[in-house]
Structure 1
Amino acid sequence: MKKWLQAIVFLMWSCLVLSCTSQQLVADPDALDRIPVVYDKGYRIGAFGLEKLHPFDIGKYQKIHRGLKKAGVLNEENEHRPEPLARETLLLVHSQDYLETLKSPAWVAVYLEAPAVRLLPKRMLKRSLIDPFILASGGTLKASRLALDHGAAINLGGGYHHAKPESGEGFCVIADVPIAIRKLQKEGEIKRALVVDTDIHQGNGTIVCLEDDPSTFTFSMHESGIYPVPKETGDRDVSVPAGVTDDAYMRSLKHWLPKVIAKSKPDIVFYVSGCDALAGDPLANGTMTHEGIARRDAYVLAECRKRKIPFVMTLAGGYSKDAWQAQYKSIVGLMKKEDVTSP
């Protein structure tokens, strides 16, 4: 074969190989949904072991982050770092007097329901407890900005839905979701916001922060008869029974969520995705499974995407030993576009 003919054959073969390789490279990213994820190791609370006296797993965020990295769904392409909320941003929801109480170990011990916190020096209180809450709350704001740009984003923290303008409670001291809403509204990025709260404890603080405001809508699905008692009155409160199962929960969620979205007409949805409805949670009575939590989260995201509404996920509560695993599996499912929404 003449050299020029050999060259043409080689060139055609090379083009074919490159084309196939290119298709392969394009296909790999399509197997994953590169949802932006916000996290910082500064989310972790630490106070000489005193934090272990509270039932919340302080290491939950770190465990989920490590698992996502290991699973290959999180890398430098979609991982983002937050900035702590500035004081003027905190003041969009919280009062000056309340922020001053966060310098007092005695007051913070009450808010966190952890009496041992009273023993902390003020300097350690700020560095080890308050600063992580403010940083993780900054993560919710960062995630909301990313959601506006990318359609969805996840903060591996936040969802402090018991914090109120003038007080903290239930291991919540910063009202991260209401603050993010007010900040985006102030900047003209959004007009209306919907908060979908599936933590098994009512988001009473979020309701108080946003009450009597027609530009926001609070939807909470929670177990009646457990903390907080009495409940606040949100825009749509749905009680689930003690012992709620995956299927029962999904039937209720599928009934109410489309109605709530249609009524609220939001520019953005903040999803407070606590997993304390899991079987074995010491602070609730649900019987949901890891698969049920994944189905729940995937359904909320799918309903938002169907309507092209930006979706912001925060992690909120969950007190069983396997809570982090349930949320880790759920996020992996969201990233891998697994269809877990059907009954």
Structure 2
Amino acid sequence: MIKIAFDPVYAHPLPEGHRFPMLKYDLIPGQLLHEGTITKEQLFSPAPCEEEVVLLTHDKPYFDKLIQQTLTPSEQRKIGFPQSPALTKRELVITQGTIDCCAHAKQNGVALNIAGGTHHAFADHGEGFCLLNDMAVAANHLLQQDPAEKILIIDLDVHQGNGTAKLFENNPSVFTFSMHGAHNYPFHKERSDLDIGLKDGTDGPTYLQLLHEHLPALIEQVKPGFAFYLSGVDVLDTDKFGKLKLSIADCRSRDAFVFHQLKQNNIPVTVAMGGGYSADTRIIVEAHCNTFRVARDVY
């Protein structure tokens, strides 16, 4: 049975002007349950991640600021959210959800977190709506359990996973692959192990051709025992910030290709949702729900 991490804290209210990014976290599980793609038995609610696990990745002075609510106004602006105890708890729960998904993925081939993909968080600061880097924390947790593990992070959000790239730049156990808009946020890119920067206006066929060229070769080269997949839907042509031209069908084909490649190579994968900023929330929800539908079909 495919397991899915979700807790109501994922969609906790924020002050006016900051709520839009959170709406989808209630709507996605509701839609999936309504249509019968998932059942309530597949959902699990994570506990907050423990400090000692977070500190495998993040610096203690930064973690203490999150817990003690002492981020400076400048640090809060860089993150994009005003600090609050609820926001910190949310991030800790999301991070543990990604960790828990790893254990479920090893049993079932795939597990999905309805939130997560907070790839702009660095060891000592957050930015771009990201406080803690959930996939990095989960990867380091896996490596603590098995130092011989080889991990592949497949980041297909439209924004480069700059925090993830920086966190693992000197770690040969984790290979970071980011396929993103070359002229999109973050404007200063870090160096992933493999970066594919896309021109503004890149269409679905071009995008999928590049993915088909690179991902199988990458799997053959890295030979990972575990993968993380950040399935952002801000690659859509309807996205307010994405600058790419993929259709919902293209996005679904992307997910299907990733899942088929990992499954046929017996690589378990934990999936996190990442970004999506289309003006019509229904489009965001539909595109994210497709990731779950495809996972159900493939696995």
Equivalent residue number for residue 51 of structure 2: 87
> Is residue 304 from structure 1 mapped to residue 268 from structure 2 by the alignment?
no
Larger-Rg structure: 1
**Aligned partner (choices 268, 284, 287) of residue 323 of structure 1:** 284
Kept in 1, the 8 Å contact 2:255–2:294? The answer is no
Task: Work out the CA distance in 2 between the residues paired with 1:190 and 1:250.
Answer: 32
Task: Work out the CA distance in 2 between the residues paired with 1:256 and 1:336.
Answer: 24
Task: Work out the CA distance in 2 between the residues paired with 1:266 and 1:337.
Answer: 20
Task: Work out the CA distance in 2 between the residues paired with 1:288 and 1:295.
Answer: 10
> Is residue 109 from structure 1 mapped to residue 76 from structure 2 by the alignment?
yes
Task: Work out the CA distance in 1 between the residues paired with 2:175 and 2:270.
Answer: 15
Task: Work out the CA distance in 2 between the residues paired with 1:61 and 1:265.
Answer: 33
Task: Work out the CA distance in 1 between the residues paired with 2:144 and 2:291.
Answer: 33
Task: Work out the CA distance in 2 between the residues paired with 1:111 and 1:193.
Answer: 29
Equivalent residue number for residue 154 of structure 2: 196
> Is residue 155 from structure 1 mapped to residue 113 from structure 2 by the alignment?
yes
Amino acid in the other structure paired with 1:40: D
Gaps of 5+ in 2: none
Equivalent residue number for residue 143 of structure 1: 101
Equivalent residue number for residue 187 of structure 2: 229
**Aligned partner (choices 194, 206, 212) of residue 164 of structure 2:** 206
Task: Work out the CA distance in 2 between the residues paired with 1:43 and 1:172.
Answer: 13
Equivalent residue number for residue 35 of structure 1: 2
Kept in 2, the 8 Å contact 1:140–1:155? The answer is yes
Kept in 2, the 8 Å contact 1:36–1:78? The answer is yes
Amino acid in the other structure paired with 2:41: E
Q: What is the aligned length?
A: 293
SS at match of 1:271: strand
Q: CA RMSD in A?
A: 1.7
Task: Work out the CA distance in 2 between the residues paired with 1:108 and 1:82.
Answer: 27
CA apart distance, 1:337: 4.2
> Is residue 44 from structure 1 mapped to residue 32 from structure 2 by the alignment?
no
CA apart distance, 1:139: 0.8
Kept in 2, the 8 Å contact 1:94–1:165? The answer is yes
Task: Work out the CA distance in 1 between the residues paired with 2:285 and 2:198.
Answer: 22
Task: Work out the CA distance in 1 between the residues paired with 2:90 and 2:176.
Answer: 26
CA apart distance, 1:286: 0.9
**Aligned partner (choices 60, 76, 92) of residue 96 of structure 1:** 60
SS at match of 1:51: coil
Deviations 1:50-88 (A, max 9, x none): 523xxx521112111001101112113322221211011
Kept in 2, the 8 Å contact 1:44–1:58? The answer is yes
Amino acid in the other structure paired with 1:35: I
**Aligned partner (choices 271, 295, 298) of residue 334 of structure 1:** 295
Between 1:155-164 and 1:275-284, the stretch displaced more is 275-284
Fraction of identical pairs, as percent: 30
Between 1:299-308 and 1:102-111, the stretch displaced more is 102-111
Kept in 2, the 8 Å contact 1:178–1:209? The answer is yes
> Is residue 126 from structure 1 mapped to residue 85 from structure 2 by the alignment?
yes
Equivalent residue number for residue 66 of structure 1: 30
CA apart distance, 1:183: 0.7
Gaps of 5+ in 1: 1-33, 339-343
Equivalent residue number for residue 252 of structure 1: 210
Amino acid in the other structure paired with 1:296: R
Task: Work out the CA distance in 2 between the residues paired with 1:45 and 1:192.
Answer: 35
Equivalent residue number for residue 15 of structure 1: none
**Aligned partner (choices 233, 239, 243) of residue 275 of structure 1:** 233
